Structure 1
Amino acid sequence: MRAQQQRSCVFAANDAEGKALRRRTRDGELVSPHRGLFIDAQYWKTLNGADKVKHIVRCLSQRHPSWVFAGPTAVAIHGFAHQWSIHSAVYIASSVNAGHGAKGVHRIFMTDLPAVEIQGIPVTSVARTLVDCGLMLPFASALPIFDSAFRNGHEASAVRAICSALHRDTAAVERLLTHANPLSENGGESLARAVMIEMGFAVPQLQHIFANPQNAGEWYRVDFAWLFPGGYTVVAEYDGVAKYVDPAMTGRKTIQAVVHQQSERERRLYAWGVSRIVRFTFDDVVHRQPLADKLAGVGIPRVGGVP
């Protein structure tokens, strides 16, 4: 049983087993991430937020095979980039009512249940999932999801079709469709752009390429770029921790080697006509003011904002 718990969540089969599992939870051997559900504590610590949701959903789906998972929960099952903080509860679709059901389960009302199956788990379709998240979540939390979905080839037309059938204000979804961009490479970059938009900064170009004027085969693609009249050009780079420590991104280079490579990249970008380069981190984005100060410091204008 312990080996099974190390790889999956379990429900107690009866009162006696439930009592034993709760005792092991008090002893720190197990954790209970959802009512009546248990999993090995050490294994649980190794999981990121999205994988935790997947474990919970897989177990709940076995107990409640008629449930169709929706909203933020469906985002994790679809595999879209998102902030783990959106998982405050498990969301399921309901054609009967909306609101809170059993402890930790929220129901999203919909007259039609457009369900698909992913690895045996019923979830709302991509378009319906985007609509629900667009209506439920703040702009900055929803934009990474929309970017990720469109990066995977999904289209806005299906989202708009669902919105047109709803008898409610869907302006928030339309705003997300206006700003969604499949060129955003990851959730961190999407979140950063969302915060820029919310703070009213001019929207940057994504993944802009700067080439050596003397050798077109030598070029760099940057995260964000603003090209102003008169030749003033600003580049912004999002520094995620993985850029320095994840072997998949560093090619197993040392941090010193990565920093040196980064310095050489900046030297060449300046030589190729970039006027200013600014770097920011996830903390800068989350706290907002540091990001605002850095963008304002290199002359990025504020032109409006998302309410």
Structure 2
Amino acid sequence: MDYQNEFIVAVRHRLESGSARQLSRRYKKGELVRVRKGVYVDKEHWLGLKPWDRYAATARAVAAENPSAEFCFETAALFWGLHIVGVPTHIHLANASRGHAGSRSPNTTAAALAPAGTTGLERIRGYGIYRHSYSTDTVYLRGLRLTGLAQTAVDVLARSSFTKGVVLADHAISAARFPSLFMSKAVLGTAVKGLASEAKRQRVNLILGFADENSGSAGESLSRAQIHLLGFPAPELQYEFSDARGFVARTDFFWRDQGVIGEFDGDAKYLRDEYLGGQSAREAVLAEKKREDRLRALGFKVVRWDWATANNPALLTAKLLAAGLTPLRNTPGRTIHQRTQG
């Protein structure tokens, strides 16, 4: 795919029209955003993008500016389709010389509009460039140069906190959620051997050892990792329940000994058409309530939480304690907190 067609590229525009003055006029009138040097996009389109989409578009603009750009770490993970938590602050590039390595601030700009004197970009995040002095092979994927899939996954895991790492690892090994590209733990383990330090190898191996292909979503993976760090007993995943009327539900988490069922509720469950199965959001909520009533009638306690709770150890602890769960111990993984550069 030619990502230059997504943008107005000054070099191409000049070849086709004989001049770049029209771009300058449109930029000064506030109609265009300069994403990278010589790479423009319609401002209203740019302002309407969600953060993840704007991040991906910024990376594609980097490729339009420099077709030889080689993406690594979280940026490569995004284009491979791996699940990562949170939008990175930088576009990550590999194979930079030592003299060119380091971070650069965002340089996406727009002209100020009179009389307000604002550009419209004040309320949104821009993404800088982080060039890494990291020599590695890259492959082509849809017109972009990326580090290989297994290498990308392991590189991101080596930079991640335990919780964020589990989200990616669970997804990477899941044939159900990552069907065309999923990898075995053995394949990822081979890639781990190429990491530069023993500390990184130990970190990634700990995450891979905990990873579970049965985790049903990124939110469930994040929750499971937090539950582990908080010292609560490990739940059974995707347990199926039936009553006299037949199948009731396949639940996210089940603590058999305590008689507790845990459910992670992501917004997509009620808002995205592919999750609603032809129902309206209201119908989906009512169906979920009836499902939960049947689980309670079987004698189980049901506790639910969302992204905000899964991301907040104190809130999740309060939820689980109120449901009757008790922490068993402080696990070794609790000390794993790695700050990601960029």
Q: Considering the TM-score relative to the shorter chain, is it more than 0.5?
A: yes
After TM superposition, give the deviation of residue 71 of structure 1 in Å. Answer: 0.4
Asked if structure 2 preserves the Cα contact closer than 8 Å seen for 1:53 and 1:76, the reply is no
Pairing of 1:79-158 with structure 2 (within 5 A): 79-85=81-87, 87-94=88-95, 96-97=97-98, 99-100=101-102, 102-103=104-105, 104-113=128-137, 115-151=138-174, 152=178, 153-158=182-187
Indicate the SS of the match to 1:295. helix
After TM superposition, give the deviation of residue 46 of structure 1 in Å. Answer: 4.0
How many angstroms apart in 2 are the aligned matches of 1:33 and 1:83?
24
Q: Which has the higher helix share?
A: 1
Asked if structure 2 preserves the Cα contact closer than 8 Å seen for 1:12 and 1:21, the reply is no
Letter in 1 for 2:227: M
Indicate the SS of the match to 2:170. helix
Change (3 A) 1:208 1:21: farther
How many angstroms apart in 2 are the aligned matches of 1:33 and 1:84?
21
User: 1:224 aligned to 233, 249, 253, which one?
Assistant: 253
User: 1:56 aligned to 52, 58, 68, which one?
Assistant: 58
Letter in 2 for 1:143: V
After TM superposition, give the deviation of residue 285 of structure 1 in Å. Answer: 1.9
Aligned to 1:189: 220
Change (3 A) 1:10 1:201: farther
How many angstroms apart in 1 are the aligned matches of 2:45 and 2:315?
36
For 1:145-187, what per-residue CA distance to the aligned partner results, in whole angstroms no more than 9, with x for missing partners? 2222112221222322232233312222112101222222222
How many angstroms apart in 1 are the aligned matches of 2:34 and 2:303?
43
User: 1:177 aligned to 184, 203, 208, which one?
Assistant: 208
For 1:17-49, what per-residue CA distance to the aligned partner results, in whole angstroms no more than 9, with x for missing partners? 67446424xx3x334455664322322344333
Provide structure 2 residue ranges, at least 5 long, that are not aligned to the other structure: 15-19, 106-127, 336-342
Indicate the SS of the match to 2:233. coil
Change (3 A) 1:205 1:101: same
Letter in 2 for 1:63: E
How many angstroms apart in 2 are the aligned matches of 1:99 and 1:159?
27
For 1:256-278, what per-residue CA distance to the aligned partner results, in whole angstroms no more than 9, with x for missing partners? 322221121112112334x2100
TM-score (norm 2): 0.75
User: 2:28 aligned to 13, 18, 23, which one?
Assistant: 23
Change (3 A) 1:224 1:17: farther
Change (3 A) 1:30 1:122: same
Indicate the SS of the match to 2:193. helix
Change (3 A) 1:204 1:89: same
Asked if structure 1 preserves the Cα contact closer than 8 Å seen for 2:163 and 2:225, the reply is yes
Aligned to 1:261: 287
Provide structure 1 residue ranges, at least 5 long, that are not aligned to the other structure: none
1:248 aligns with 2:277: no
Asked if structure 2 preserves the Cα contact closer than 8 Å seen for 1:10 and 1:39, the reply is yes
Letter in 2 for 1:94: N
Change (3 A) 1:268 1:179: same
Aligned to 2:263: 237
TM-score (norm 1): 0.83
Indicate the SS of the match to 1:248. helix
Which range moves more in the overlay, 8-17 or 165-174? 8-17
> What is the aligned length?
292
How many angstroms apart in 1 are the aligned matches of 2:44 and 2:154?
36
Asked if structure 2 preserves the Cα contact closer than 8 Å seen for 1:225 and 1:236, the reply is yes
What's the C-alpha RMSD, in Å, of the aligned pairs?
2.8
How many angstroms apart in 2 are the aligned matches of 1:34 and 1:180?
38
Asked if structure 2 preserves the Cα contact closer than 8 Å seen for 1:146 and 1:176, the reply is yes
Aligned to 1:8: 6
Indicate the SS of the match to 1:84. coil
Indicate the SS of the match to 1:38. strand
After TM superposition, give the deviation of residue 284 of structure 1 in Å. Answer: 1.5
Aligned to 1:277: 302
Change (3 A) 1:290 1:12: same
Which range moves more in the overlay, 173-182 or 190-199? 190-199
Change (3 A) 1:9 1:202: farther
Indicate the SS of the match to 2:69. coil
Change (3 A) 1:222 1:105: same
Change (3 A) 1:45 1:81: farther
Aligned to 1:161: 190
Change (3 A) 1:147 1:30: farther
After TM superposition, give the deviation of residue 118 of structure 1 in Å. Answer: 1.5
